[in-house]
Chain A
């Protein structure tokens, strides 16, 4: 009896030696992560901040320039500003349709009576596990203006398709099309998980109260799905602002830097890589990367605000 009480007390308030024993073990378990975080996250972050204040062609001496890199990026550099516009435009243009279509398909699939439900879910998800580089080249061929499948299919319904990747006005839209296709399944899965967490009883209660399918969706399902939609939006925006691989694959060639035609698809990350690794100038690109970081934080914060307000009920 006394031992039991003692053990209970011990658990509630461990002795000092036991506490330091536990703390030691906690840090044993944490050590590998902390060492690697230090080496691959915190040290590079500190260095990036430092580099951004220097003019530093790799291999020669660093020269301290203060905030000059930032000033040039924000004031003088029209190319950087354009890359920000391209990136924001791409993000809005790809995230909104992806979320809308994914939500639509998830609602259609969220029906226990539906036959072949598993098969549909698998098919819509398949593009998510395909290599982005590989499908980039596939879409490059599909979007070819004269023989490509996309314009051929548009021709069947009487639309004369645009020049897509060959046209400065349509290249980014072509990349958007491919991105929507590839990411759809991922968001669909997030929404399906959210839909399945909605209790049947709530929807049944709304039905008994006389709410039709649209009103049930609008006033019951949608507000309850709010966390999933916000999650999808934040993931989509963070990914969208880091646009790189699609542009590199779909617009680059041996003769031509990626980002064309006429810089119409040059995203911020493409610009950072171009400014850093071609002349091997570490300072300017680091400053641009920090501005991208700030942009991502601002947009994500705005999003948390907006979405919280829109679906309050």
Chain B
């Protein structure tokens, strides 16, 4: 019995380790290749470590494309989108969870139903709208489709249902105004849901590609993924430069993830419902 348990355990660790190494290989390869010369990358059989760590690829990338600017744009756009989604979702979620008013449930169903609409159906009219409002190639245009999120409203509503109504009622009896109740009682209690929604919105914004691709037309408005795609498209055969640029694109969010991985993973698990 013991012997079999141990074999089972050993094979379990073996499987998990081989799997984990496979999962990490592409990322390790990317980082190592970013320090290699092109002939080293193309060498057969492949080499593991670079002959010498040189930053030539990074220098070359910075000379031809302004990745600092792309990073800045990504941060600005993510910040606007996160603040807006947190604000709109928590307010609307609160209204749906703790107020009763005529048409509430029907309205909530309508909001939920919009979750089924793929972005591609809206993208063409949104593009025309952004063009009519002269928002093409501006931050306002870039964030336009990400300011409100039906899923965020759903998440906040579900969470706020669990806040005891007595708390809100007694604050009302004590004479607190509706805005103060929302800011100083409801929002602090909803922190876990707000943090999950922050992470989810951040990842979505950082990843978004189709919309920036259509709206941003000059390099000074590119986001990281878009700047990387344009750069790599120009240097299609320069895997060395591509990997340096790819590494710079992957690392920022990876650092945020490693610093707060528990929250990240739990947040993504709760928001997995999307």
Contacts and interface: CB of A to CB of B under 8 A. Distances in A.
A296 interface: yes
B128 interface: yes
Contacts of A92: none
Contact of B46 (A126, A149, A185, A249): A149
A288 B207 CA distance: 24
Contacts, number: 258
Interface string B139-151: 0000011011010
Contacts of B51: none
Interface string A73-114: 000000000000000000000000000000001001101001
Given A134-B250, A147-B43, A122 B118 contact: no
B101 A41 contact: no
B233 A44 contact: no
A132 B104 contact: no
Interface string A277-308: 10000100110011011001100100000000
Nearest to B270: A193
B118 A141 contact: no
Contacts of A211: none
Contacts of B245: 134
A256 B97 CA distance: 51
Interface in A205-228: none
Given A129-B254, A149-B25, A152-B45, A242 B120 contact: yes
Interface residues of A, number: 91
Contacts of A48: 121-122, 124-125
Interface in B164-222: 169, 173, 178, 182, 203, 206-207, 209-210, 213-214
Interface size class of B (residues with CB under 8 A): 35 or more
A58 interface: yes
B246 A137 contact: yes
Contacts of A23: 99, 101-102
Contact of B121 (A39, A58, A292): A292
Interface in B103-122: 104, 107, 111, 114, 116-122
A30 B26 contact: no
B183 to A, nearest CB: 12
A22 B125 contact: no
A172 interface: no
Contacts of A142: 26, 29
B228 A134 contact: yes
A30 B258 CA distance: 36
Contacts of B29: 138, 142, 149
Nearest to A20: B101
A125 interface: yes
B164 to A, nearest CB: 13
Given A130-B254, A296-B118, A253 B236 contact: yes
A189 B209 contact: no
B15 A108 contact: yes
Nearest to B210: A244
Given A22-B100, A133-B249, A149-B25, A245 B209 contact: yes
22 contacts: A32-B148, A36-B148, A40-B122, A45-B125, A48-B124, A105-B19, A120-B16, A120-B20, A124-B23, A125-B264, A129-B253, A131-B250, A134-B228, A135-B27, A149-B29, A185-B23, A245-B210, A248-B209, A248-B229, A249-B232, A292-B121, A293-B120
Across the A-B interface, give the 10 residue pairs with the lowest CB-CB distance, nearest first.
Answer: A47-B125, A26-B99, A44-B125, A36-B148, A134-B246, A29-B95, A33-B92, A133-B225, A23-B101, A44-B122
Interface of B: 12, 15-16, 19-20, 23-27, 29-30, 33, 41-46, 84, 87-89, 91-92, 94-96, 99-102, 104, 107, 111, 114, 116-129, 131, 144-145, 147-148, 150, 153, 169, 173, 178, 182, 203, 206-207, 209-210, 213-214, 224-226, 228-229, 232-234, 236, 239, 242-243, 245-247, 249-250, 253-254, 257-258, 261, 264-265, 268-269, 272-274
Given A123-B23, A125-B261, A127-B27, 7 more contacts: A48-B125, A130-B254, A137-B246, A138-B246, A241-B118, A282-B124, A289-B121
